Structure 1
Amino acid sequence: ERIVGGSECPRGAHPGLVLLLHFDQRQCGGALLSTQWVLSAAHCRTSHIQVLAGAHNLAALTGQEQFAAAVDVVVHPGFDATNGDNSSYADDLMLLRVEPPFTITPYVQPLALPSSPPATSTNCTVMGWGTTTSPQESYPDTPQCVNVTVVGHQTCRRVYGSRVTQDMLCAGVAAGGKDSCQGDSGGPLICNGVLQGIVSWGDHPCGQVGKPGVYSQVYNYLPWIRETIGDI
């Protein structure tokens, strides 16, 4: 999934956003939970995941960036990667433990976990280095941010049917044209400064009228996250 209809995130305004790379090829986004743990989408899993934190313009590195390797990959036990077309993205989450640990800087900071789920109509921001055009794809050097609104669960189910589980969160813009897209998967949906969603799936092309993006609802997974990474 990717960002369509957004604009470049201000430099320094996305310290919890990381980029997952596979042999230097950008793969997905991720959300920094601590100096050693990243939350992303399970469907982003590959071998040899590298994590880049503190980045902004991928074509002009500044020295603020930090590289680490994912040494442990914990896919949510409910995620089923065997269903081919991934018709069900249930439990589309994985946790990555990185080495060496990241150093906290103004450009690398963990995201806060939620104490409650976001209410319908909450304004949120989704961000990533995914494609800015759809269905043809064009990938930006800088992360794009777009403001979207949380869509009620029943409304979302009317669009996508039973594929939308209680553990998913939908967010979009009623008029369309603003959405996450290919390449944004695994990245954070941030509402009122708190990590509420991880980009999972949506319709293709992205940004269609009445077709919100679908996210894993982080709040519902706090027990699994805490059990996996310990108290942070």
Structure 2
Amino acid sequence: MFSAKVVIFLASLAICYGAPNAKLSSKKLKISPGVDVKIEDYPFVASVQWCNRIYGICENICGGVIVNENWILTSASCAFEARKVIVGESDLNAKHKVIVNVAAKYKHPNFTNKFGPNDLVLLKLSEALTFNDKVQPAKLPSQGQEFNGTFVVNGYNSITTADYSILQAVTNLSLISNDDCYDKFKKLLPYEKIVIDDDSNICTFSGASNTCSGDFGGPLSQNGTVVGTVTWTIKPCGASGAPNVYTKVSNFIDWINQTITENS
């Protein structure tokens, strides 16, 4: 039997995945425990933006990865609201930032919902990016490549307030097995359907969830090579005992290359 406190705690936990349903307003909901970093250290990071067409106001909804001068990789669950992309900025409120419109979107054909495998979309930009020390394409792994060691995840967070427009990083993350990842989530959410797909997903664990709303599609990387993109986590953000789940980029390299070739 669960105690009353345990029942209340479990009721407060839920699976959190990409936009639009993951928009959260609390100032406490941010990448945790992240530190501010310079875009020069992670020049392949992008901010995927939703824009209010009436008022012309845009805000970060997801992270993204620069694949080349014309393409951004992010979470498929972010695709519907993706309107613009910002690159080359540590601070999304900077006056002179590079903003490019999204011209077309190509979801992975086997992505079926906001909480499932194959959570990737390629965004084709309306104009080519100019590369410099703040804007660079990511290094991508080879098809099927495996990784070990430590990793870093980047995000701008949910910026429903201007406080969370700064690029952050959580470092020294380690991979855990997908079985271990599943077991940790089931302990926290015994009545939720947990999907950890071996072909699509990898997980990290640092004792608590690190990513949050606004970070989906953002990169998990190792020495500049993008190993994963944030696909879902648990809320409230920073929940103790919760891993983070990513799309395993190395299993989608053939799809990325084919999609870009066929639509360039």
TM-score, normalised via structure 2 length: 0.76
Deviation at 1:46, TM superposition (A): 2.2
- Which string of whole-angstrom CA distances, capped at 9 and with x for unpartnered residues, describes residues 58-115 of structure 1? 2233x3x32211111001111113xxxx4x3211110011021100011000000013
Map of 1:118 onto structure 2: 147
Map of 2:250 onto structure 1: 219
Residue 175 (structure 2) pairs with residue 150 (structure 1): yes
Question: Which amino acid letter does the alignment assign opposite residue 217 of structure 1?
Answer: K
Higher Rg of the two aligned structures: 2
Map of 2:3 onto structure 1: none
- Any gaps of 5 or more consecutive residues in structure 1? none
The two structures, once aligned, show a CA RMSD in angstroms of 2.3
Report the Cα distance in structure 1 between the residues aligned to 2:127 and 2:40, rounded to whole angstroms: 22
- Range that drifts further, 208-217 or 151-160: 151-160
Paired residues of 1:40 and 1:94 also in contact (CA < 8 A): yes
Residue 203 (structure 2) pairs with residue 170 (structure 1): yes
Q: 1:47 to 1:154 in 2, by over 3 A?
A: closer
Report the Cα distance in structure 2 between the residues aligned to 1:204 and 1:48, rounded to whole angstroms: 22
| Correspondence 1:44-193 to 2 at 5 A | 44-47=78-81, 49-61=83-95, 63=96, 65-81=97-113, 86=114, 88-115=115-142, 116-119=145-148, 122-131=149-158, 139-147=163-171, 148-160=173-185, 163-166=195-198, 167-173=200-206, 175-176=207-208, 179-193=210-224
Identity across matched positions, percent: 27
Report the Cα distance in structure 1 between the residues aligned to 2:201 and 2:82, rounded to whole angstroms: 28
Question: Which amino acid letter does the alignment assign opposite residue 14 of structure 1?
Answer: Y
Paired residues of 1:131 and 1:138 also in contact (CA < 8 A): no
Deviation at 1:191, TM superposition (A): 1.5
- Which string of whole-angstrom CA distances, capped at 9 and with x for unpartnered residues, describes residues 18-39 of structure 1? 0111111221110000000100
2:65 to 15, 31, 36: 31
1:7 to 35, 46, 65: 35
Deviation at 1:11, TM superposition (A): 4.1
Map of 2:191 onto structure 1: none
Deviation at 1:207, TM superposition (A): 2.6
Deviation at 1:139, TM superposition (A): 4.6
Question: Which amino acid letter does the alignment assign opposite residue 4 of structure 1?
Answer: S
Q: How many residues align?
A: 218
Report the Cα distance in structure 1 between the residues aligned to 2:163 and 2:116, rounded to whole angstroms: 24
- Aligned to 2:179, what secondary structure does the other structure show? helix
Deviation at 1:124, TM superposition (A): 0.7
Report the Cα distance in structure 2 between the residues aligned to 1:156 and 1:138, rounded to whole angstroms: 33
